[in-house]
Amino acid sequence: MNFSNSGKATIRVPLPKRGFPPTVPFVEIVNAILYKLKTGVQWHQLPTQVFF
């Protein structure tokens, strides 16, 4: 992790070498995972309209 002058953490994720390019921004995927961990909701009950 890299902390810039603004105090926010920057995470550098290597680009995949195989597969298809993601259709959703990486930050939205992380937000969905954090929401699931925070609320304890099941994966199939995630509000997809909010995140994606």
Helix (H) or strand (E) holding 34, with range, is: helix 26-39
* pLDDT for position 17: 77
* pLDDT for position 46: 74
* pLDDT for position 45: 78
In this prediction the pTM is: 0.53
pLDDT greater at residue 49 or residue 28: 28
Q: Which amino acid is at 14?
A: P
| pLDDT tens profile 2-45 | 555 566 677 777 777 777 877 888 888 888 888 888 888 887 77
